[in-house]
Amino acid sequence: MRKGKWFMALTLAVVMLLQGFGATSAQAQAEDTVPAAASAAGEREGLLFDAAEQNSVKLEGLLANVPATFEMYAKFAVNPNQRQILFGNYNANAASNFNIELKADNQFRYYELSNGKLIDKSTQGLSITTGQWTHLAVLRDPANRKVTLVQDGTVVASFENLDLPEKVELQNVHSIGMDTRNQMHVRAEIAEVRLWDDVRSLDELKDNAEAVLTGKEEGLMHAWTLDKSLLLPGANVVYDKAGKLNGIPFGFEMAYEIEMPYESEFTGSGADFSNGELELKTEEKLSAPPRSFEAWVNVPANTPASQSANVVIGNNESYYYSDVSRLSFEIGANGKPRLYWRAHKSHEINYVVNAKVNVGDWVHVAIVLDDEAKSASAYINGRKIDETALNVPIPTVLPARELKIGSDYMGYAADGKPQTNFKGQLADVRVWSTARTAEQIESGYKAFLQGQESGLLGNWKLDQAINGAYPDLSLHGNDARLYDNAAYNWLEPEFADGDYKIAVIPDTQYMARQHPNAMKAYFNWLKDNADDLNIKLAISVGDIVDTPSSEAEWAVAAESYSYLDGVIPYVVLPGNHDVVLNNTNLTRNYTNYNKYFPYSKYSDDATFGGAFVEGKMENTYHFFEIGDVEYMVLAMEFAPNDAVLAWANEVVAAHPDKRVIMSTHSYMYHNGEQIGPSHIDYPSAYIRDANNGDDMWNEFVSKHDNIVLVLSGHIGYPDLVVREDSNNYGSSVKQALVDAQFMEPRDLGMVMLMSIKEGSNDVGVNWYSVKNDKLFREKNQFSMELNLYPEPHSFEQLAATLAEAEQFVASIESTPGLSLPKMSELKAQIAAAKALTSSDDKAVIHQAHVDLTRMLVDNKGSIAYTFLPKTSFTIEAYNSYDVESDNLPQYVLDGDYSTIWHTSWHDPIPDLPHWIIIDMKESFKLSGIQRTSRPNLTALEFPKDFELYASDDLADLNDPAYLGNEAKRASGTFGKTAAGNTYQDFAVLDKPVQGRYVKLLVTSTYGTGKFVFMSEIDFTGEAVEDETIRLFADDRTVNKGSVFTVPVTVEQASIMVGLEGILSYDSSLLTFESFDFAGFSATGAVNSATPGKISFAGVSGDALGTDEATIITNVTFRAKADLVGNATATISFANVRGVTTDSAGESAYVPVQTEDAVITIVSQNPGDLNGDDSSDLLDARTILKLIVSGGGSEAVLAKADINRDGTVDTNDVLMLLQMIADKLAE
């Protein structure tokens, strides 16, 4: 019966302190400086870092900068004479590193790589590893160009005249006790680590040595206290006292131990790998990224603690490129289960379980990766014993090679056995594509599977072999077979049949430098076998030599290639090792390349077509007629700039009848992708005006229907890598990576041979070693289709391209801010294509498709963007920014690509989405948005998916109801188009949005982190004319007692179909007479029951009128007749809303601005023309006379204008007579 228990390894710590560090005498204890973290007895307490346990504390994010002052309190093991990383983030592929170390001679070391400059300084003769507590400090002073090393308050070394930048952009996370290599672990008890952003004085170091920091000290960046509390259950965070960047401890937690005596629950049998004789490899790669691993393991109990039991299942292998996907599920030192998975250039999963399974009997071990929980969990005999949060993403790519069971690909010992063979027995190995739950693990670990379980990628019971194979019981049938490394890798040569062959020569740099005779033998082999194999052409992919300044290497290379002169035509081109690049001045020095491969020699050849620069060989093209195919080979330099691509476009377009093979040094990556900034060693990382592989495809290769093959090297990988894409015409283009530079030994002399049959597109491929006279791996012997004999484009293809072109034109014409310089030419091609039918000649249809596609591609690449001027734009609000580096949101508006907005990447890192609100100062109707990433990328967290909102009311952009309204939301996806050293992409909005304020919500990025960065945002669109809806009435002057009508007018009536509101008036001065709708005569309602208020509402099936002012209603009042003096009454409006319709016929409420009207009531008797203080028939008679005569003074006419309409006419007489009648009635 299996039992488990938890225990605290304090006894072990004490033993190690006594044996590894030496006992400390009472006198020495008394003389020690009392530490900040001291016990009641006065002895400092820290946290024990044991190299065997691979202890470390990994920070949860990047440091904002290299600290000006670094401090550590530690007690180091006595003279271990082992290199130790105290604090580090070193990564061989990073442009910046910062490490504090002890060297193998126990000396204090400072290591920094920044701005391309390396600083590596260390002490001499210093006593640090004494088993006594010591305080170490590093003072980094850029202002004085100085680094000072301090021990216990005393300067022990000082280094001056150093190139120390003020700001260093760090690319990898730091750890206490190790760096990214997970090696050279510290051997010490560490109490505290402090980082400061100012250079501390020696007095400050001494005065604060015993101080307990609060975290609020001026200049303090970070401070981590390390003590035995991290040994307690659930202690999974080392808190930063400054509250900015916590750490994750590894290897300190209480260990899980299987209680002895132990009786296993496993009753089956397995395979014994302990003697290294059994070596198994699965037939195929996994079909999906794995998430759960299970196995029964039986490791002898007497296995030394320092010895790993090794690999259960994995494909780990030594690669130059750290992002080749490889994993290992294994049992490590001290019997600890471990899962290692590296698939990214900057991070990896290294999950070590603090448990010991070396008990001499079967133990079930399971490790689960959970994407949703972002965690790794471990199970022993069905019981969950650990769950640890992962601070790196779980890979989503497949392991690069087939998995091996009981070993991996890390090589062989001198006796020929795998270096990592499992030191014990294995049974019932399982791999899943799903994260198995605790219930599934517990219920299934003792039962054999049926093989049909959901998510099961492979299940190998390993109880018996059938015909030399251990069956995979899953539906995939991926059996594990006996593996012979030599037989698997090297095959007897059997070349593909063909009428002729073309040889592709990989990077020869290491042969030129290390194996010159092998290089000569290689080219002699090509010469000697030219006739037998019918090799008609050889094409280089560059890196001819390793050292561009070494004339000895160039001499070897030139002599070697000269063996082919007159025997095999060949094309050469330079790689990055053949040129001296200057990234500052953007120059490329090809002196030795052009000296040893001179233009004068090759330009005389009949096959020579021309060069980008006459007299220079770095960019050339050549013509070869082989069999019935007319080839053009375009040889392009490493990292071509825009001018070279423009030249290449012209050359290829000028020869549409040729089948083009393009060869350049760097184009493909080992994972089959076109190389770019997300990879390692991409061209623009060497020189910033370079075009990367994806640029070359987009801006050159895809634009030409006659390019059939692209060849490249630069990225060393043992296998050939081929990808296929369809160009803009719908034709297939193959692209191949051919580079064996890292294969061992370096003089294998690999060559790719393409065997071509006349009249056939089927090309046989072989990957052959001249030295071994063998083919390398069966997977590299294959056939591929090259478009050497193209079929004419069909009418269906023409119709599809025609539809695409018409849609493109419509999109451009309907999107403000977009235009095409060649719009007329494109429309002419569209018209010509539309005139054709399927019955037209095939050649005519083919050419029409080619012409239309070429014109469409040209126009897509030449869209002119007219962005809205943004000099007046400001940032109104945002959710996050990088406080440490002042990467402010407003930098997206400054037009400067070197400044960026970066959301916070310090703990706690806010999760996506991230947003900013921009005040454009006036209302715009937006049609599109362009995003530019930060330059010189080391990560890919620039916006991918986004939402965009706009409104004239800022409050709307924080209103959940508004943001949740689909009609108010535009959304889209930015592409990933490299533009120099940035990614710049434009997205047409799926619907226009309008307003003064615009909110950009970034919902995803092209990276894996939570943060977002970009350098610029630009919008297309158009200014919005004032569409404010106004409702108003004109001011009036009326006589007391008079009846008058007030017209109520509305603007923007062409979009209005409804209106509601309240009209208020002063009932003490005015009496309501009537309310007559003009626009809603049939569908309007009025309520005037409340004196002083008139409520109204009306709708209409059609718009009320034009955009001109339209009278919506006429309201009639009577001015009070008993006024003594003049008076003023106000007619006002409240709660007025309009209803409008959009182009789709959808109705919505809109606000309406209102303006009050002032009614001035004149108290004198209206119409008293004869001055007798009475308005009577005599006055009416006088007005009639004035009308007939047409005369009268201005003062008299003003009195006669009873109704105040500016005209004296019979209406005034009638109004006066009505007033007289009303008066008599009263």
Q: CA torsion sign, 1049 to 1052 to 1056 to 1061? A: negative
What is the C-alpha to C-alpha distance for residues 339 and 358, in angstroms, rounded to an integer? 17
Quickly state the pLDDT bin for 938 (edges 50, 70, 90): low
SS in 3 state form for 444-471? HCCCCCCCCCCCEEEEECCCCCECCEEC
CATH number of 7-253: 2.60.120.200
Taking alpha carbons only, the member of 615, 650, 614, 616 closest to residue 632 is 650
- Check whether 970 has a pLDDT greater than 80: yes
Burial of 744 (0-12, 13-18, 19+ CB in 10 A): exposed
Helix, coil or strand: residue 1186: helix
Q: Which residues of 1150-1186 are buried (b: 16+ CB within 10 A; e: fewer)?
A: bebebeebebebbbebbbbbeeeeebbeebbebbeeb
Tokens of 336: 């600890």
Taking alpha carbons only, the member of 498, 493, 494, 466 closest to residue 482 is 466
Q: Kindly report the CATH class assigned to 1030-1162.
A: mainly beta
pLDDT tens-digit map of 379-433: 999 999 999 989 889 999 999 999 999 999 999 999 999 999 999 999 999 999 9
* Amino acid 19: pLDDT: 34
Contact between 1195 and 1171 (Cβ < 8 Å)? no
* Amino acid 27: pLDDT: 29
- Same fold? 501-512+534-736, 877-1023: no
Burial of 458 (0-12, 13-18, 19+ CB in 10 A): buried
What percent of the chain is modeled with pLDDT above 70?
A: 95
Using CA atoms, how far residue 753 sits from 712, 772, 908, in Å, is 14, 16, 55
Quickly state the pLDDT bin for 462 (edges 50, 70, 90): very high
Domain covering 877-1023 assigned CATH 2.60.120.260 in the classification: yes
How far apart, in Å, do the first and last CA atoms of the chain sit?
115
Q: CA torsion sign, 15 to 21 to 23 to 24? A: negative
- Check whether 1032 has a pLDDT greater than 50: yes
* Amino acid 1024: pLDDT: 84
* Amino acid 347: pLDDT: 84
In CATH, the architecture of 501-512+534-736 is 4-Layer Sandwich (3.60)
pLDDT tens-digit map of 728-750: 999 999 999 999 999 999 999 99
What percent of the chain is modeled with pLDDT above 90?
A: 75
* Amino acid 604: pLDDT: 94
What is the C-alpha to C-alpha distance for residues 840 and 794, in angstroms, rounded to an integer? 11
What is the C-alpha to C-alpha distance for residues 1059 and 1140, in angstroms, rounded to an integer? 9
Has this prediction a pTM greater than 0.75? no
Domain covering 256-483 assigned CATH 3.10.150.10 in the classification: no
The CA angle 1000-1003-1008, to the nearest 5 degrees, is 130
pLDDT tens-digit map of 226-277: 988 887 766 789 999 998 899 988 878 777 889 999 999 999 999 999 999 9
Determine the angle formed by the axes of helices 516-528 and 551-562, rounding to 10 degrees: 10
What is the C-alpha to C-alpha distance for residues 512 and 519, in angstroms, rounded to an integer? 6
pLDDT tens-digit map of 189-215: 999 999 999 999 999 998 888 789 999
Contact residues for 982 (Cβ-Cβ < 8 A; gap 6+):
897, 932, 933, 934, 935, 937, 1015
What is the C-alpha to C-alpha distance for residues 808 and 860, in angstroms, rounded to an integer? 8
* Amino acid 38: pLDDT: 38
Element (H, E) at 418: none
- Check whether 613 has a pLDDT greater than 80: yes
Domain residue ranges in the chain: 7-253, 256-483, 501-512+534-736, 795-865, 877-1023, 1030-1162, 1177-1225
